[in-house]
Amino acid sequence: MAKIMIVDDDPNIVTYLTDIFTDNGYQTCAASDGAKALELVKAERPDLITLDIEMPEEWGPRFYRKLAQDPELKRIPVVVVSGLAGNKYAIPKAVAALTKPFDPDELLGIVGSVLGR
């Protein structure tokens, strides 16, 4: 079963994403900022990450830079889910960027095609 890591500081949105993914047969784990996400990604080794951009403590782009420096972690695909306009420029290598509020079917479509289902 594929595992998705959710990185977002808003617990309501973490719950929402967790609901969507578990209802569609994925495992999930979640972190509320970039620093915690980096620890979690090493422990959980997820198959895909959804990443918010603006968070307290450590923002999404910095987390991504650290992720990309690790040869084992940099292959994990990242989907940006953020309220910031122009967020597709924040992490150019992200496989997709969705703007909040997002369409859950679109998100599931992207995740499905990236994970080969």
Contact code string over 21-50 relative to other proteins, x by CB under 8 A? --x---------------------------
- Choosing from 1, 85, 93, 105, the residue that interacts with other proteins (CB under 8 A) is 85
List the alpha helices (DSSP H) in the chain.
Answer: 11-23, 34-44, 60-69, 104-114
Q: Which of 4, 5, 13, 41 contacts other proteins by CB under 8 A?
A: 13
Start-to-end Cα distance in the chain: 11
Examine residue 55 and tell whether it contacts other proteins (CB under 8 A).
yes
Quote the CA–CA distance of 48 and 73 in Å, as a whole number: 10
* Residue 36 vs 68, nearer CB to other proteins: 36
- Does 10 engage in binding with other proteins (CB under 8 A)? yes
- Please, which residue, 56 or 71, has the CB nearer to other proteins? 56
Q: Is residue 9 within the footprint of other proteins (CB under 8 A)?
A: yes
Please choose, from the candidates 37, 48, 52, the residue with its C-alpha nearest in 3D space to the C-alpha of residue 84.
52
3-state helix, strand, coil in the chain (%, to 5): 40, 20, 40
* Residues in Cβ contact with 66 at an 8 Å cutoff, skipping those fewer than 6 apart: 34, 38
Q: Which residues bind other proteins (CB under 8 A)?
A: 9-10, 12-13, 15-17, 19-20, 23, 54-56, 83-85, 99-102, 104
